[in-house]
Amino acid sequence: MFLENLHTPRPFAVWHEDMGDVLWHLIPIEEPPHCGTPIDTGWPYFEEDEPRLWFTPLPDARVIDAAWRAAVGDDLGEGSHHG
């Protein structure tokens, strides 16, 4: 995992397989990001897109969960979920 400034977009050229899935943004941003890797089947970008292709890591679900729990306290909404 790359730990330096996790919210700073990084260029396509520095991504490597060890980074795994990330959010890909075609700059300027005009559509939602693509989640995945360049080695995935169905990669939506072309070689000519690479200079405009930047990525950010996926959000850490544990951080989001902790923030949500802090906001709602111990009331986890039992019975309000599906299933």
Q: Summarize the chain as % helix, strand, coil (round to 5).
A: 30, 20, 55
Contacts of residue 15, Cβ cutoff 8 Å, sequence gap at least 6: 22, 37, 38, 55
Is the pLDDT higher at 38 or at 67?
Answer: 38
Enter the tokens of residue 9.
């977009």
Instruction: Using pLDDT thresholds of 50, 70 and 90, give the confidence band for residue 75.
Output: low
What 3-state class would DSSP assign to 63?
A: helix
What is the tens place of the pLDDT at every residue in 14-50? 999 999 999 999 999 999 999 999 999 999 999 999 9
- pTM for this structure? 0.72
Cβ neighbours around 22 below 10 Å, total = 20
